[in-house]
Amino acid sequence: MESRTQWTCLVDTQGQVSEWEDKTGKHYLSAFPQVIGYAQALLYSKRDALTFYYHKADENLWFQIALQRHQQEFTVIRAKQVELPFGLSKRELDILILISSGLSNTEIAAQLYISERTVAKHIEHIFGKTNIDNRTLLAVFAITENLCCLPLPGNLTRSMLTAYEIETIAKNRQALANKPFFSTKRESSRPIIIGVPYVEQGIGQIDTQELLNGTVLAVETINRQGGINGRELRIERAGFCVEDKKSILRAYQQLFDKEVDAISTSYACYSAETHELVASEGIPYLHLATHSSSNKLAQNLSPEKIDNIFQVCASDVNYSQGIIRFLQEYQYHYPHLVKKKHIVVITVKWQWIDIGIDCLIHTLRAQNWKVDVLELEQSASPFLYAMGQIHNLSPSLIVVASYFTEDIINFYTEFSKQPSNAIIYSIYAPSALLPHQQMCEGVLWATTTGLSANHVGQCFHQHYQRFFGHQPSYSQASVAYDQVQILANTWRHTVSPRNFKEVLSGIRSLAYHGVNGTYYFGADSQIGLTYPDDTMDLSISQPHLIFQIQHGKSKVIAPSLFAESAFRLPPWFKLK
């Protein structure tokens, strides 16, 4: 008995304990009446699982408790004797829980009957132990790492934590006999189907594989955990060609004919006709088509007509803000390289995007900068033509406004033949370039939804690497993963995935803390927010990340909160 550290048992709706793996597990865990109560309470909630830490005070032992709903009327308890992670003390864990519940230092002090100064000191220790120095990120980290214990500290009257919901139910165990429990349906039934339109041929194929990989990883992860209330998730794909707009419509119609339960896709699929078609179907639709023209409110369409369309990250016009911030830093640190305050923005007619060009021109003109826009026609060598114009203009910064990885590769190839002392600043496109490819060295690029090197990002990186045998790209795989998880989290708490009205309401009310940041669709536009452009609140936004490719690897250089490296002059610069 002394050498054993793990035990399991089953608990039913009446709180009766039975064997799961062996008699010892049942016997040992029967001595944990509070944990039994939480397992029973889970069955009367709409939750499928809960993981938390539990302190057995009489033996001064800590356990990690994992509760998992099983079949219709049981919870499996898995208990493992552990030490608290990250070297946290019980008091530090209590404070971390209260931070995750949204309490201020003053409120935490009142809950724990200690001074605010003591609270601040404990938080300082937590920052050091977790290597996190931001309160909002700390709260997100605590939730994703299941850093919670039961019973909860203090006397909370509100909390967003699942543990709070379960504890509240458990405190009223006597009333559970007459309360209906929420059963999970494990019988054979139709899978829940996610439709994925993807680029099957032509430009955009480089990035689309990451869309598919991220979606597959999310679906596999969810199915291994029991699916959605016992129902399997399945992917239905439909291919198209970006240059053939009719093929895009056919792909969507194919998915509608298959009666998919939602559609999750990227940016390459956009056309006004496509979104009109999706709006008419009423099906939940999560996409990355952040072109400003895809903002339905800008097209004077009512919120009711677009209530099924969710743009998971901020619109393209935000990119101008990142460019302006970078230029201010660049001019401050390298004034001798900015003798000619001139920018060239390259746009492409095969997928035009507005990076906030009006704002960019207006703001920079006030700072004595000149901005030229070079729009490229589809031709045999559009970037060869672009380089001829660039050598005539000699700008200090070149912005390549195209999402397609193929475009930045082709531009960089032409630029490398006769480079100048100009920074190349790309919009999203290099996100699909991996270190082993050693491409576009020195290029800067920005995204309003990206994979940072924080703890959550690193965990996803490892998860993806184990599954596919190579690292993920820096945006598409992780955002595709998050899109599926947003749908899954909503479906778990709805009567049926086919009850679109309830599903859409659930997505709008959700603030989902994903790999790339927090997704929030509470505004009428149903467009994700970005930090620091739309809001300074990271609990409802994703960071607007600026990367630089250094030794083949994309590294975040801004915002400073997420930076893993500093800007370096590109290797093509020739300094006197």
One-letter-per-residue 3-state SS of 83-112: CCHHHCCHHHHHHHHHHHCCCCHHHHHHHH
Note the pLDDT of residue 63. 97
φ/ψ (deg, to 5) at 470 = -150, 165
Q: Are 464 and 482 in contact (CB under 8 A)?
A: no
CA–CA gap between residue 146 and residue 50 (Å, rounded): 8
How far CA 18 is from CA of 4, 25, 199, 219, 337, in Å, comes to: 19, 9, 52, 32, 74
Alpha helices in 76-178 (DSSP H): 90-100, 105-112, 116-130, 135-144, 162-170
Model pLDDT for residues 167-186, shown as the tens digit of each residue: 999 988 666 655 555 544 44
Note the pLDDT of residue 436. 83
The model carries a pTM of 0.67
Note the pLDDT of residue 123. 95
Site of tokens 């088509």: 289
Note the pLDDT of residue 304. 52
Model pLDDT for residues 535-559, shown as the tens digit of each residue: 999 999 999 999 999 999 999 999 9
Selection from 145, 144, 151, 146 nearest residue 166 by Cα: 151
CA–CA gap between residue 443 and residue 171 (Å, rounded): 57
Q: Are 56 and 64 in contact (CB under 8 A)?
A: no
**Number of Cα atoms under 13 Å in the Cβ half of residue 504:** 20
φ/ψ (deg, to 5) at 356 = 85, 40
CA–CA gap between residue 241 and residue 200 (Å, rounded): 6
Site of tokens 């997420």: 562
Note the pLDDT of residue 183. 45
Low-confidence ranges of the chain (pLDDT < 50): 1, 183-187, 292-294, 296-301
Note the pLDDT of residue 184. 44
Note the pLDDT of residue 267. 77
Q: Are 242 and 203 in contact (CB under 8 A)?
A: yes
Which conformational region is residue 511 in: left (phi greater than 0), alpha (psi within -120 to 50 degrees), or beta?
beta
CA–CA gap between residue 571 and residue 576 (Å, rounded): 14
Give Cβ neighbours of residue 97 (< 8 Å, ≥ 6 apart). 142, 147, 148, 149, 152, 153, 161, 163
Q: Are 194 and 249 in contact (CB under 8 A)?
A: no
Alpha helices in 341-404 (DSSP H): 357-365, 382-393
Burial of 564 (0-12, 13-18, 19+ CB in 10 A): middle
Model pLDDT for residues 219-272, shown as the tens digit of each residue: 999 998 889 988 899 999 999 998 888 999 999 999 999 999 999 998 766 677
